[in-house]
Each structure stands twice: as structure tokens, then as C-alpha cells.
Structure 1
């Protein structure tokens, strides 16, 4: 992340630093963050920054696990839909073929004058 720093005087009583962060705001989860670096530069105790780092990694792992779980659920639902539609099509095809077999059997029976066996 980049930033620009300006010095502005506050009514002649010294200068007040002003930082303008140069970034583009976009929806979604950030790929990387400099928040911990900023915290260290701001003078937070190293133990606090270290704990923040640990917590950030825990949260990131939890989010990855949740995403994986959601994706697995979507895949299971998709597979179930595919299996159901294939089974449904197979059942319809089987019914058609059974009907055709009955027709052939009936014609054979009628032509033979009785039982096909």
C-alpha cells in the first residue's frame, strides 16, 4: 500500500501530519493487508501485533474452511441433481423399451396363435 504524507500547520501552532492512503476500494475479501504493519508503525506493543497476527491467521483459516464447506455442499447438490436427472431419464427410457417389448411380444403371440413359448 502506498501513501502520501503532508505537513499542514494548525493555526501557526506547529505542523499536523496528514496521511492520505492511496488505494482503490473494491468489494470482496482483501488478498493481503498491511494493517499489522500499520499497527506496528503506530507504536502498538509487539505482543498486541503478534496476537493480532495469530488471530488474523485463525480467522483466515476459518473462512477458508467455510468456503470449502459451502463449495462441497454445492458440489453434492449438483451431483445429486445429475444423478436424479439421469435416473429419471433412465426410468423413462426403460418404460418406453418395456412398452416396445410388450408390443413385440403381443405381435409375436398373436402371429403364433397363442403363447410365445
Structure 2
């Protein structure tokens, strides 16, 4: 399932529900079918996301060499950075906001 994030300032972003769930939970938001992040909420949410990224980086397993056959892990930081940028662009306008929409709640 896809979750669509739409900023009135910075455009649109699509994410798979599992990635959106991790980011929204780290941000302290519920994973409902629809939601909003207001510009005044962005600094706290970005701080929470960066804290989650740092914690994920600390718990990530070390690379075991250059095994071309091994699947590459996409870190939370790589997933979060475009979302953080969307939020920061949105926060530049006093009346900025990000809406998200999914076909249904995706908390599980």
C-alpha cells in the first residue's frame, strides 16, 4: 500500500506504508488513513526523526565485506532524509502543512 504526502509548499511524495509507518511513529504521529503536520510542528518532528535516525545508525549491523550477492539494507536515514527535506521546506511558510493520505489506516 502507498501513502501519499502532499505539501502545500513543497509538492508530493509517495512512500510504501511500512516506511511511512516507521517515519510517522518516530515523529509521534498516528498512522491513520489521513493526517496533517502543521508548520509549527515541524521543528519537533524533525528533531524526533533525526534522533530515530541516529539510534538506527547505532544499531545497524556492520558491513561484512563486499559481498555482491548480499542484499543492501536501506537505512532509516536514507528513508527519512527526503521526508525531512519536505518538512523543512514546508516549515518555511507560516501557513505550511503536509497532508498524508492512504487507502486505510496503516498502523499494523
Structure having the higher Rg? 1
TM-score, L = length of structure 2: 0.26
Compare relative contact order (CA 8 Å, sep 6+) and give the higher one, 1 or 2.
2
TM-score, L = length of structure 1: 0.24
The structure with the greater share of residues assigned to helix is 1
The structure with the greater share of residues assigned to strand is 2
